[in-house]
Each structure stands twice: as structure tokens, then as C-alpha cells.
């Protein structure tokens, strides 16, 4: 029995501990697609949707993670005009996706004029966890929900290159210093002071360590823990490997202006070679066979859910 004051002080969200959205595969609304050229993309999309749906039915019957609803939706961006929910997966085209959402929302005339800092630090877009419970449920049940994913090992190497091979005023002092201190024997004073120059092998040692000296980060967190694809029924599953055609088809589905196309440009470090399977191979050579296997195991669910081939 709680007093009235105690009841008022309790967050209403604390009562929503185990939220399970049943994995029902709703048909995509294709009434706004005007062009016949999307047939192949649509066919691929239906295969991805049914693959994830079938996987989640099997997986959910064995294991039901208990998670707060608000935590489930904390990575999801909202665009109310076209009724879009986009779950952000870093290193899978998210910067350009946020630019597109800003244009859809009427916050910018063109995706090409929005700077990197404006995208990531401008706070122009709302996240789903900023709404009340009714607002969250209504949007989850009526908006078109999309997620864009990437081969897990490519995404991991891309994140490492971006955060540790270029000057960075956050990742070097926060992650770099802790990683060098714990995993580099005889580290020199300069490295310990700046946190710059982390090697890929050291980064993997940190990633696989159950007693990490510093926590996880969204750039290398598993998609299964960022977007909860077996608890939230995503209507559209895009892949970085087919990013432009997937994104442009999705824009057709939600009735975006005809002139809006997904941007092609690389957001930062545009002179760098894109992280490809060949680039990944070079980085994986620095690891032992056991480290490679453990890294794959770390992303095992992401490989399974999105039908990626094991490296």
C-alpha cells in the first residue's frame, strides 16, 4: 500500500518493465509508390522482413529480455509530418538519414547544406522517449518504423577508424587513455596523457573485456541492443550495402517530396577509403584466431538477425 504522495512521486514508466510488442508482420503500405522500377528492391525488402520475423519468433520463444519501454525507444528519431520512426545505428548512414529527417520535417531546404555538427549536436530532431506513454504507443503503432544496418565487422572497423585514427577531443581522452593504460604494456607518457594512437588489437581487447575500464558506446554497441528488432516491429529494413536504393524506395513509401533523394556524400574524412570487406580483412589480420572468433561471437545476434554471412 503506497501513500498518495509516494504514488505521485513514482514515475508512471516504472510500471512498464517487461514490454513485449508481439512480432506481427504487417504488410507495407505501398499506395504512394508511383514507379514500377522498385520491384526488385521491394522483393528484397519483403525477404528481409520475413527473415527477421521468422528469426524473432524462434528467438523470442526461447529468451524474453525484460526492458523498460522508454529504454527500448531511446535511439528512435521521430518525424511527425510523414509519420516516420528511424532507429539510429551509427556507422550505417545515420548522419545522412538525420539530414533527410530534418528536410522531411521542414527544418532545412536541402540535405546538402546541413553541417555534421548541426546533425549531431543541433538537437533539431525529437526522440521517441521524449513523448509521454500515450505518444510513444500511438507512434509505435501507427508510424512507419525503419532501421538501417550494416555488416557488423565493417561497422566495427569503420567506428574504430573514425574515432581512433583521426584527432578526436572526446574518444581519445575518454576511451583512448583508458584503453592504453589497461592493455598496452610499457606505454609511454605521451600516449597515457593524450590517449591517441590506440591500436585495433587494443580496441578489441577492450571490447571483449567483461571488466572494461570504460563503458560501451553506441558506435560499436550491437544493433540488437540499440534498436531491439525482436521487440519493435520494424516495417522497413535497409542495409548500408544497398543504402541509396533502399533509402530512396523508403522515401517513396512515406510520400516524401519527389525532389528529395538520399545524399551520396561521405559525411567526414571524405578522402579516406571507405571501409570495405578488403579493408576489414587487413584489420582482422592484427588479431589472433581466438580474438577474431570472439569478436564474431560478440556480434552473433546481429549476424543472425539480418542474415549477414559470417566473415
Per DSSP bridges, beta strands 126-127 and 84-87 are unpaired
134 strand-pairing partners: none
Mean pLDDT (the chain, rounded): 88
Span 213-258, pLDDT tens digits: 999 999 999 999 999 999 999 999 999 999 999 999 999 999 999 9
User: Rounded to whole angstroms, how far apart are CA atoms 49 and 44?
Assistant: 9
**Residue 18's pLDDT band (boundaries 50, 70, 90)?**
very low
More confident residue, 20 or 185: 185
DSSP letter (8 states) at residue 176: I
Tell me what pLDDT residue 9 has: 39
Tell me what pLDDT residue 36 has: 79
Percentage of residues of the chain with pLDDT beyond 90? 71
Strands (E), the chain: 76-79, 84-87, 126-127, 144-149, 236-239
Average pLDDT over residues 41-55: 95
More confident residue, 22 or 261: 261
Domain boundaries, the chain: 36-153+219-275+301-306
**Of 16-20, 61-65, 131-135, which gets the smallest average pLDDT?**
16-20
Average pLDDT over residues 115-132: 82
Choose among 87, 23, 28: nearest CA to 56: 23
**Of 32-46, 47-61, 267-281, which gets the smallest average pLDDT?**
267-281
Tell me what pLDDT residue 273 has: 84
Average pLDDT over residues 157-183: 96
Amino acid at each position: 500500500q503506497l501513500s498518495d504522495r509516494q504514488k505521485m512521486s513514482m514515475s508512471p514508466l516504472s510500471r512498464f518493465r517487461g514490454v513485449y510488442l508481439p512480432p506481427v508482420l504487417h504488410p507495407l503500405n505501398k499506395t504512394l509508390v508511383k514507379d514500377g522500377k522498385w520491384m526488385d528492391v521491394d522483393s528484397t525488402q519483403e525477404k528481409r522482413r520475413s527473415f527477421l520475423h521468422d528469426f524473432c519468433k524462434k528467438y523470442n520463444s526461447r529468451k524474453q529480455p525484460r526492458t523498460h519501454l522508454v529504454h527500448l525507444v531511446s535511439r528512435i528519431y521521430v518525424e511527425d509530418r510523414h509519420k516516420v520512426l528511424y532507429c539510429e545505428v551509427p556507422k550505417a548512414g545515420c548522419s545522412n538519414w538525420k539530414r533527410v529527417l530534418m528536410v522531411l520535417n521542414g527544418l532545412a531546404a536541402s540535405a546538402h547544406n546541413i553541417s555534421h555538427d548541426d546533425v549531431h549536436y543541433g538537437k533539431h530532431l525529437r526522440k521517441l522517449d521524449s513523448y509521454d506513454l500515450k505518444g510513444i504507443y500511438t507512434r509505435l503503432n501507427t508510424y512507419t518504423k525503419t532501421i538501417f544496418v550494416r555488416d557488423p565487422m565493417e561497422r566495427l572497423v569503420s567506428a574504430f577508424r573514425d574515432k581512433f585514427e583521426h584527432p578526436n577531443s572526446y574518444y581519445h581522452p575518454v576511451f583512448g587513455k583508458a584503453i592504453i593504460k589497461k592493455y598496452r604494456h610499457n606505454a609511454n607518457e605521451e600516449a597515457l596523457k593524450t590517449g591517441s594512437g590506440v591500436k585495433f588489437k587494443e580496441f578489441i581487447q577492450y571490447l571483449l573485456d567483461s571488466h572494461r575500464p570504460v563503458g560501451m558506446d553506441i558506435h560499436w554497441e550491437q544493433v540488437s541492443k540499440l534498436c531491439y528488432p525482436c521487440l519493435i516491429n520494424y516495417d522497413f529494413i535497409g542495409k548500408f550495402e544497398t543504402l541509396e536504393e533502399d533509402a530512396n524506395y523508403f522515401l517513396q513509401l512515406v510520400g516524401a517530396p519527389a525532389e528529395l533523394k538520399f545524399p551520396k556524400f561521405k559525411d567526414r574524412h571524405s578522402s579516406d577509403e571507405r571501409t570495405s570487406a578488403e579493408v576489414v580483412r587487413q584489420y582482422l589480420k592484427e588479431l589472433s584466431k581466438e580474438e577474431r572468433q570472439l569478436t564474431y561471437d560478440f556480434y552473433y545476434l546481429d549476424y543472425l538477425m539480418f542474415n549477414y554471412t559470417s566473415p
